Each structure stands twice: as structure tokens, then as C-alpha cells.
Structure 1
Amino acid sequence: MTPAETCRICRQGALERVLELGRQPVSSHFTRLACEEVVERDLALAVCSTCGGIQLAQPFPFRMLVPPFDWISYREPESHLDEAVQWLTGLEGVDRDSKILGLSAKDRTTVERLERLGYGNTRLLDLAADLGADYPNANIESVHGLMTAERAAVLAERIGLQDLVIARHVLEHAEAPLAFLEALKLLLKPGGVLLLEVPDCRANLERQDYCMLWEEHNTYFTPDTLAPTFAFAGLVDLGHTIHPYPFEDVIVAAVRKPVAGAVAQLGFDHQAVERNVALARAYGAAFAGWTARQDALFTQMTADGRKLAAYGAGHLTCAFLNFHGFTRHFAMVIDDTPVKQGLHLPKAGLPIRPASALDPARIAACLLGFGPEVEDKVVAKNAAFVTGGGAFHSMFADSRRSIRALL
């Protein structure tokens, strides 16, 4: 691939595009009609040969990502939060007198845990009142875009500098991650702590699972690339912990705003850079092979005239169907969320139906497009489909039901 855009992490290296996925929609923009046009942009994954940062070549502007529905919600894994809070409260400078700020609604449960431990000087930012979101359905996609240096300075003047700022699952969304981190620094006292949580993309890169890619995630962090990102933003790395989950682990990291006269240590671990560049290149190079093998399998599975179904009308299913071009093998998408039923998956155009539409006379197999940890429950609820001759598989490589086991 020809090097193109400049890296948004180190602001130095040129990006090398490793995977071109063509025009893709915003996955939350469900349509009323199967043939309805949706806004699309080129989606491509790239890597920086200077710092090893893996990122979208060109971010979708955050205002484009605002969902057209008020019922879209985002859920993150939370079973690790007790452990994360215990680690956080052991950091120097974090005590029961600390001023603590949660950046978004995703931080509510972390703040509540701290409050139960006696940390009472807390608050959560409000998208409209604090960040100025004056348009309907603003959600997590807007936090980084609205948190500019100018707004952070105004907030700091109004609410005071904070001892601790918490930002779970926002940094990976940022179109300009360094500018976002630099804005958050303005909310902190010198020596204040910033707690961040991001997906750990290393395992999905190694497994070559392309459902990982999402137009709302602009940076795909690994443990190798997270600490340098902090250094580029002038933050002092205090370490991180990795918490394992099915499909995607999470990294919880803490950094400190330097006190006067101190500077963050900046440098490149060239072996780490080489590892991440190689990982990204292999990920991109394997895409066509995985697509061809699965496409041939789906052709075989539907040879008797039946079609396939997908279960879960979210961005993971959207990625699996649209990136690989598998739509023609599928008749529908199953989703248990009533407000989604009757709509269509963007670009794929497949109708979203309730689980009662899973008829083994018409559907040969159903591919699960949600976290492997809930697969057993969903399969058990739809036992009649299996009894009647249907089968359940998973889209994800990190599932014991993975469709790749049949290849």
C-alpha cells in the first residue's frame, strides 16, 4: 500500500493503509426501507510505521455518527470495575477529599463505586449542559468532538480543576486523540490523575477478526501503543491493567498531569513498533482469504435453497455482512429489541425480525453477532430452531461456536 495520511497519534509518521473496505455506512443508521440510501464514507485501516499506531485512515466526522433514534444505547463490560477502582484508589493523590469528574454517562457506575467507598466530591458531565450538545440523540460519539481545549478551559473555570478525571471508552472514538487528551489535561490540577479505559485490540488483530472494526472507533490500541500515546500528549504513564473478556479485552490505564517543570518521557520502543506494524499488515493481508473461504462455506450451506440469518442488529453484524459482502446469503437479521424490528440493517438492507421468524424450513443456520458470553442463553431460548434442523454458529473467531471451525 502507498503511504498516505499523517498519523494522528504521533503526528509524525505517514499512515500505511493495510485494509481498504470501500464505502461503508454508519451502523446505527437503520432504515425504514430495504433499498433506502444511507450516508457512506470510505473505511480503511492504516498503521503508522513511526509509532506503530493502528487507526482508521480517515475518521468519520462525529456529527455524522449521531444516531437518528433516541433509543440507541451503548453498554460496556463492567465486571472488572471493582478491581479497577481498588487499583485507582491506591494511586498517590487519589483520596476521599479528591475532586472527581466522570466525563460521560459511561462513567456513572465507576463514580457510584467511588461514592460507596466514601469519595463524595464527585460529578458527571452532562452532554447538553456541560458540553453544549444542542442536537437530538447526542451520545458517546459526541463527547470527544465537543470536548475542545476551549470548552475544557471554560469548564475548568466553572467547576474548578479536578484531582481525578475518569473517561471510559471515549479515547478510541476520538478523531484527534492527542487534542482530546490535551483538552482533558486542562481539567486536571498539576499532579492530577486521568483514568482511561479502552478496548485491547491485540487479540482480535491476532485472530484476524474483522468485526472489531467500527466506524465509531478511530484508534485500535494495543498495550504497546497506549503508553506512547500518553507520552505524545505530555502525560506521565502510571501503568495499566488488562482485564480479559470474550471477544475483546479492556485496558484500564492511569496517567498523571505533570507538575510544573516535569515532562513526560517520550521515545519509541522500536521492537514494539515493528510488532504492531507487522500485526496490522498481516491483519489486512488475510482479509481476502477469510472472506473467500467463508463465502464458499455459505454457498454450500445454502445449496438446498434455504438462507442464513444473523442474530443481533448491531455494529458487529453490520461489519460482518457489509465488510465481507455476505448479504446475499442472508434472509434477515434477528433482534430481540422491539424498536429495531421492522427496520433494516444499513447498506445490507436486511429486515430486522423477532426470534419467532427463525423457521428452520427457510433458515439453514443463524450466525450469532453478539458477545460469546450470552450465546448459551440465546441458543437455549431458541431450542426449537435447532430441534427443527437449524444450527447456530458465531461470527466471531473467539467463540466455541465460531463459523471458522467449519472451514
Structure 2
Amino acid sequence: MNPSQFNNLETSGELLIDFGLQPVSNRFLAPDRSSKAPNFPLKLRLSKDSGLIHLAEPFPIEEMKPQYDWLTCFEPEAHLDDMVNTMINLPGINQNSKFGAYSFKDDSTLDRLRNKGYRNTWRIDPELDLGVYDKCANVETYQFSFTMNTTNAMKKKYGMADIFIIRHVVEHSYKLLEFLDAAKNLIHENGYIVWELPDCERALEMGDWTTIWEEHVFYFTSSTFKNLLLSSGFEIVHFESVPYLLENSLVAIVKLSKQFNPISVDSNELEKEIKRAYSFVENLNHRKKIIREKLEKIKKEKGSIAMFGAGHLSIAFLSIADIADLIDYVIDDNQNKKGLLMPINDLEIVGSEVLYTKDIRFCLLSLNPQNQPKVIKNHEKFISNGGTFASIFPGGDKDLLVL
């Protein structure tokens, strides 16, 4: 793999699929708004020498910044105790070691370290260290200011880290090589970086297009991320894919390679990644067609269709498949979202009481699969009244296409 190819995403590899214009998925609108949600071209490209899939042209940073300070994100954490135990047992690490971290996504990891007596910790301050003063800004903005210049200042302020933690950020990077170099700049020669990021392998294999999000520039698998690390001057100390229902989490602990030699991607692995990418498009197109046909039939037989969950997963599901016209209600019990409009088809977000006050007998679940059983349990009355819940995600027992 030659990582320098990702300096120009528009020309890296070949066009894999063009989704046309897609909305900024965090742009929830007030009913009396005077503007519409912005739309930008969304295309995926495939690097033929690595198998890595990425956006052809990321959306403008200033447009992706959330408009509300209550918008946030949640990353999987059930594995963090084990991850912390792995970290503190690395060679050279002791209770005097210095642990640095990238963002609020790492706070719970730092808490676990401090609870174990590892109290020499610090975390990047978006305002003071990155010059990001907008309280609504998130990692989509932070990554653009994470450079050699800003990390040089951090080194003077905090000192070199023995371990630097970056959870669920590298996939957002617009300038991948610069981001990797900036991370290297914060550890000493025997230090470690702990990377965590989504494992897209299962979604790609199943044609699940909800994995595509304008905030994620890169769509890594175990193979493509390992090859990126090795090609970028890292030695991999620990690597695993932690299983979760929605998507697994890749955890990689690396240190700087003492003798960096360019590597070539295993031809069998490369063939597998390229085949997976092509199959993703085929499965996606097939699944889109079947889902529209099934929802049209359900709407004809059962009437109104609701969708439970107003987030980027539901927006991707509706927009990429061009099926928002089949949805009558979008449900979300987040009080901040109620009454706002989705950035697609001006669908109003309403509370779950509509399951009982409106004539609804079919409801799609676009929540993280680990949260779906709770919703189903809370709304057993909807089911006893003749209602049906179905998941938008492939593979589970609630999969829309297996009901």
C-alpha cells in the first residue's frame, strides 16, 4: 500500500459507486426554517492496490459541524476494561507512564486508567490546543486542526506520551497521512498509540449501506487497516476485532517501527478486499430493490409506516435507498429532536405515543441493534395491538427482509 495516494481522494483508485446528492445527516431543521438541508455529492472510490474504500470527495467541514450543542455520539465501551488491561501490561508501561488522549471519546478510558492508579493523564483541549472554539464542533472539526504544528505545541505543553489514545476518529480524517504523522509526533520513540475504529467488514459483506456516513471518509476492515499501519511506519503490537451487534470495533496498539521497509499487500488478501467491495455494491443494489418492493407491499396492506430512530443511520437508510416517500412518521423520544424536521423529505420527528394515537401497524427500527430489544419491550402494547417491529439492518431475526 502506498498511503500517499490518499492525499488526493478524488483520483485514488476507481469509482466504486455514486450515490448522487445526499443530505448532511445532522442538519435537523425547525418547521419554520427558511433554508433546506444542504446536499453534496456522495461517491465511494476503491483503492485497487490496497482494497480500501473511501469517499471520493468529503463534504465541506463547515457544513458538517453540528448546529445544536445537544447532538453527541456514543461509541461501544463494553470492551474498554479489557483494552485498558492490555495497555497497562505493555512492556515499559507503569504507574508513572504518561497517557495522552485525543477527545471526549477517550474520557471513559482515562477514567478507567485513573481508577487503576495510572493518574498521569491528559487530553487535548479543543479550544486551547486546536483553536476550535465553537461549542457545537465535534471530531469532524477537530481532525482538521490536528496537525504537526498543533502537536508540536502539545508536546511542549504536556510532554511526550508513553501511550496516546485515539478512539473512533481516524476514519474521519480528511488528510490521512498528516493525521497519522501528527499522532506519531505525540509519542516518544518507545511509546504506543492505541487506535480504535469501526470494522466495516460485516456491513460491506451484507450490502448494508447504513455504514456509509458523510462524516466517515474511510471504511476500514482488519486487512486494510493493518496494511495502512504497516505502510505508515508502525509496528503492530496488538490487534483485534471486538464483536458488537451493529459493527465490530477494531483495536490496534502500535509503536514506531525501528526499521521501516515498504510492504506489499498480500495478493490473496487484496483480491478478497476488492471482491468484497464489488459484492457490496451488488448486494446493496439488490437489497435496495427488494426493500422498496417489500415496503410498498406493506404500505398497501397495512397502511402508514413509521421509523423509530432519527439519526444518521435512519437518514442513510432512507436517502441512499430513495425510500423516504414510503415513511409517514419518524419517531424519536429525544426531547431535543421532537418537532424538528429530518433533513430528507421534511419528515417531522414525533414521540413514540404516535404508535397508539395514529393508525400505525408497521414500524421500522433504525436504532443500534443492541438498543432495539429495549424499545420492543417498552412497546409490547403496540405488538399486542397488531403492530410489527422490523429492523433496517441485515442479518438479525428482526431483519425486514426475513419477516
* TM-score for the superposition, normalised by structure 2: 0.94
Residue of structure 1 in register with 2:55 after alignment:
56
TM superposition shift of 1:304: 4.2
Deviations 1:278-300 (A, max 9, x none): 11111112322211111111111
Q: Secondary structure at the match of 2:188?
A: strand
TM superposition shift of 1:54: 1.2
Q: Secondary structure at the match of 2:344?
A: coil
TM superposition shift of 1:272: 1.2
Residue of structure 2 in register with 1:220 after alignment:
219
Which residues of 2 match residues 16-55 of structure 1 at below 5 A?
A: 16-33=14-31, 36-55=35-54
Which residues of 2 match residues 2-13 of structure 1 at below 5 A?
A: 7-8=5-6
Paired with 1:13 and 1:90, the residues of 2 have a C-alpha distance of 42
- Return the match for 2:398 from 395, 401, 406: 401
Q: Secondary structure at the match of 1:50?
A: coil
Residue of structure 1 in register with 2:184 after alignment:
185
The structure-2 alpha-carbon separation of the partners of 1:87 and 1:165, relative to structure 1 and needing over 3 Å to count, comes to same
| Structure 2 unaligned spans of 5+ | none
TM superposition shift of 1:16: 1.6
- Return the match for 1:349 from 342, 346, 349: 346
Q: For the Cα contact (< 8 Å) 1:102–1:123, is it kept in 2?
A: yes
Q: For the Cα contact (< 8 Å) 2:302–2:362, is it kept in 1?
A: no
Residue of structure 2 in register with 1:67 after alignment:
66
The structure-2 alpha-carbon separation of the partners of 1:228 and 1:12, relative to structure 1 and needing over 3 Å to count, comes to farther
The structure-2 alpha-carbon separation of the partners of 1:24 and 1:322, relative to structure 1 and needing over 3 Å to count, comes to same
Which residues of 2 match residues 38-187 of structure 1 at below 5 A?
A: 38-187=37-186
Q: For the Cα contact (< 8 Å) 1:200–1:251, is it kept in 2?
A: yes
Q: For the Cα contact (< 8 Å) 1:130–1:155, is it kept in 2?
A: yes
Which residue identity does 2:103 align to in structure 1?
S
How many residues are matched?
399
Residue of structure 2 in register with 1:206 after alignment:
205
RMSD: 2.0
- Return the match for 1:319 from 298, 316, 320: 316
Deviations 1:245-270 (A, max 9, x none): 002000110111245xx325532212
Q: For the Cα contact (< 8 Å) 1:191–1:258, is it kept in 2?
A: no
Residue of structure 2 in register with 1:280 after alignment:
277
Paired with 2:55 and 2:138, the residues of 1 have a C-alpha distance of 21
Residue of structure 2 in register with 1:293 after alignment:
290
Q: Secondary structure at the match of 1:251?
A: strand
Residue of structure 2 in register with 1:3 after alignment:
none
| Structure 1 unaligned spans of 5+ | 1-5
Residue of structure 1 in register with 2:386 after alignment:
389
Counterpart check, 1:15 vs 2:13: yes
Paired with 1:11 and 1:332, the residues of 2 have a C-alpha distance of 37
* Runs of 4+ off more than 4 Å: 9-13
Larger displacement relative to structure 2 (9-18 or 45-54):
9-18
The structure-2 alpha-carbon separation of the partners of 1:324 and 1:360, relative to structure 1 and needing over 3 Å to count, comes to farther
Q: Secondary structure at the match of 2:6?
A: coil
- Return the match for 1:364 from 343, 361, 382: 361
Paired with 1:119 and 1:263, the residues of 2 have a C-alpha distance of 31
Q: For the Cα contact (< 8 Å) 1:147–1:183, is it kept in 2?
A: yes
Residue of structure 2 in register with 1:329 after alignment:
326
Q: For the Cα contact (< 8 Å) 2:13–2:46, is it kept in 1?
A: yes
Paired with 2:149 and 2:317, the residues of 1 have a C-alpha distance of 39
TM superposition shift of 1:53: 1.0
* TM-score for the superposition, normalised by structure 1: 0.93
